Amino acid sequence: MGVSAYEEDLNRTTANYASLSPLSLIYRAASVYPDRLSVVHGERRFTWAETYARCRRLASALARRGVGRFDTVAVIAANVPAIYEAHFGVPMTGAVLNTVNTRLDADTIAFILDHGEASVLLCDREFSAIAKEALARCKATPLVIDIDDPAVSEGEPIGEMEYEAFLATGDSEFEWALPADEWDSISLNYTSGTTGNPKGVVYHHRGAYLLALGNILTWSLPPHPVYLWTLPMFHCNGWCFPWTLAAVAGTGVCLRKVTAANIFAAIHNDGVTHFCGAPIVLNMVINATAAERGAALPRTVSVMTAAAPPPAAVLQRMAEQGFRITHVYGLTETYGPATVCAWHPEWDALPMDEQAALKSRQGVGYAVLEDLMVGDPKTMEPVPHDGNTMGEVFMRGNIVMKGYLKNAAATEEAFAGGWFHTGDLGVMHPDGYIELRDRAKDIIISGGENISTIEVESVLYRHPAVLEAAVVARPDEKWGETPCAFVTLKDGASADEQQIVDFCRDNMAHFKCPKTVVFGPLPKTSTGKVQKFVLRERARAL
């Protein structure tokens, strides 16, 4: 066969092709909406023109220190302007951004800085003590720049200079370029590492660009939303929302400390229209005191939630209090959210409890996710769409990571069979919506019956005295395993073990009910997820 006419004289040129990168989004925001607010932090206000100039100064300052393509620049910071600017300034040099979880211990931070080979560290002064401890354990010492936030009084300077002084060494007209290849790495994010050293998840420019736009489609984001930074920017690059905000020329309201009072104050004082958060943030909001809440909400506030599946009772209470909930699901390996419980208008006619039950499902793939399956991890065949047959959740497409840094074996295992293995167990409903039932390691097998800890937790959350709940397996001579519930009660509320067990027996099959209830605070990872491996050890020791 000869060459097709569609392959002749139709070449890729600068006129008809550019690498997909979120860097193009800030250029447009600054060009089209130079005077609109981009970032708010206390009394500080920046426009898009100013933020773009500051990002270029950061890129220039880094480049003058020798930072270039595939170097790593780490940031340890709260949600402040500097970490936002790093999402653009770092990749403008061709370097890779590594936002480090501020809640980690010194050993883990040292491992991350060494493993990622950070050449520069931007460090918020609030975290200088733990950073100093980590740096003392590093094999190589990066250039350290202090971020001095007026809202922080503690913490000694540990860097060569302060962030604003560092920016002053750069050029606001720095000539950056899109990556030569959109597959180039843009960021490095580390997993929780609850069972060993965390794995370094690598994102590319193409995926970051697509998810930034996917967030707009999924959430029906209007132009110029006012977005509250309740979600840490160190977590999956804030689910790619730093880049999403540039695409819609929105305003990001920084928040150092996530409390119910601060959230409601931002809604009233800063005009917040949107925020994201794990179910723990939703719990904080619905259990706010009258003093924390203040006046009635001046507008409906849109909330995107993910992490552990939020109990239907929590979703229902949020809706009743004036918040519009969008439920998404994803992992560090998928740039943040990759599925959404896409809503159907006819569901609005259903009773509120039925709406909440539907909304608690993880749903369907983002428009920018290529494919989603619940299947048998051995045969890689999809399970029946019956809402009952359990399988592993698999994904593939442009918003799946490049792989794990310096870990070929883990990458190969994660991508076996041509799909990304999430490790999450779920079912596929007849309407094509997935619903998580558990992590593969969390499922309880009692007397040969599979018990979903998520299902039991959802019932526990409906108890009026329960603030938080987590369920794990407890070894049992007769049954092999039985459910053990760890429960935190609301302030001022009371309940004993029998009352909790009786409530569960009234609301679910008896074999699924907890046989043991332990009261007290729940151990959590640095990203706010319940440490079930700790609870399993406690259950075994009972």
Residue 127 DSSP label: G
Predicted confidence at residue 175, as pLDDT, reads 97
Q: Is 203 strand, coil or helix?
A: strand
Residues 444-493 have pLDDT tens digits of: 878 666 687 888 998 999 999 999 999 999 988 777 789 999 999 999 99
8 Å CB contact between 414 and 420:
yes
8 Å CB contact between 485 and 496:
no
Calpha distance 287→490 (Å, rounded): 8
Q: What is the mean pLDDT of the chain?
A: 93
Calpha distance 435→455 (Å, rounded): 11
Tokens of 344: 């159907």
Confidence category of residue 320, pLDDT binned at 50, 70, 90: confident
CATH 3.40.50.11810 assigned to 23-214: no
With tokens 């929590």, the residue in question is 314
Residue 424 DSSP label: E
- The percentage of residues in the chain with a pLDDT greater than 70, rounded to a whole number, is 97
Please indicate, yes or no, whether the overall pTM of this predicted structure exceeds 0.75.
Answer: yes
The CA-based dihedral angle spanning residues 381, 386, 388, 389, taken in that order and rounded to the nearest 10 degrees: -20
Q: Which residues pair with 286 in a beta bridge?
A: none
Residues 404-439 have pLDDT tens digits of: 999 999 999 999 999 999 998 899 999 999 998 877
Predicted confidence at residue 71, as pLDDT, reads 98
Tokens of 419: 């799909």
Residue 246 DSSP label: H
CA proximity to 513, closest of 504, 522, 521 = 504
Average pLDDT over residues 193-210: 86
Higher pLDDT, 402 or 314: 402
Q: Which residues pair with 3 in a beta bridge?
A: none
Higher pLDDT, 279 or 88: 88
Residues 346-396 have pLDDT tens digits of: 999 998 888 888 888 999 999 999 999 999 999 999 999 999 999 999 999
Tokens of 316: 């229902």
Tokens of 169: 């060494």
Predicted confidence at residue 207, as pLDDT, reads 98
Asked if the domains 23-214 and 258-439 are classified in one and the same CATH topology, the answer is yes
Q: Where are the domains of the chain?
A: 23-214, 258-439, 444-541
Tokens of 482: 């039985």
Q: Is 94 strand, coil or helix?
A: coil
Calpha distance 461→313 (Å, rounded): 7
Residue 301 CB-density burial (10 A; 0-12 exposed, 13-18 middle, 19+ buried): buried
Residues 258-315 have pLDDT tens digits of: 999 999 999 999 999 999 988 778 888 988 999 999 999 999 999 999 855 566 777 7
**DSSP readout, 49-75?**
HHHHHHHHHHHHHHHHTT--TT-EEEE
8 Å CB contact between 270 and 253:
yes
Q: Is a pLDDT exceeding 70 seen at residue 68? A: yes
Higher pLDDT, 15 or 104: 15
Q: Is 187 strand, coil or helix?
A: strand
Tokens of 124: 């918020």
Calpha distance 341→359 (Å, rounded): 6
Predicted confidence at residue 260, as pLDDT, reads 95
Tokens of 77: 């910071």
The CA-based dihedral angle spanning residues 265, 270, 274, 277, taken in that order and rounded to the nearest 10 degrees: -40
Tokens of 301: 């506030």
Rounded to the nearest 5°, which phi and psi values hold at 485?
-100, 130
Residue 24 CB-density burial (10 A; 0-12 exposed, 13-18 middle, 19+ buried): middle
Calpha distance 100→136 (Å, rounded): 17
Q: Is a pLDDT exceeding 70 seen at residue 527? A: no
8 Å CB contact between 145 and 159:
yes
Predicted confidence at residue 193, as pLDDT, reads 58
Q: How many CB atoms lie within 10 A of CB 222?
A: 12
Average pLDDT over residues 132-147: 96
CATH 3.40.50.12780 assigned to 258-439: yes
- Provide the CA 311 distance to its chain's centre, in angstroms: 18
Residues 35-52 have pLDDT tens digits of: 999 999 999 999 999 999
Average pLDDT over residues 99-116: 93
Confidence category of residue 147, pLDDT binned at 50, 70, 90: very high
Q: How many CB atoms lie within 10 A of CB 59?
A: 27
Edge-first strand order for the sheet with 480-489 is 466-476, 480-489, 516-519
Predicted confidence at residue 58, as pLDDT, reads 98
Calpha distance 238→233 (Å, rounded): 4
Predicted confidence at residue 441, as pLDDT, reads 72
* Backbone region of residue 66 per phi and psi (left: phi > 0; alpha: psi in -120 to 50; beta: other values): left
Within 8 A by CB and 6+ apart from 499, the residues are none
8 Å CB contact between 433 and 329:
no
**DSSP readout, 441-508?**
TT-EEETTEEE-HHHHHHHHHTSTTEEEEEEEEEEETTTEEEEEEEEEEPTT----HHHHHHHHHHHS
Q: Is a pLDDT exceeding 90 seen at residue 173? A: yes
Within 8 A by CB and 6+ apart from 43, the residues are none
Q: 444-541 — its CATH code?
A: 3.30.300.30
β-pairing verdict for 251-253 and 161-162: unpaired
Q: Is 295 strand, coil or helix?
A: coil
With tokens 């501020």, the residue in question is 102
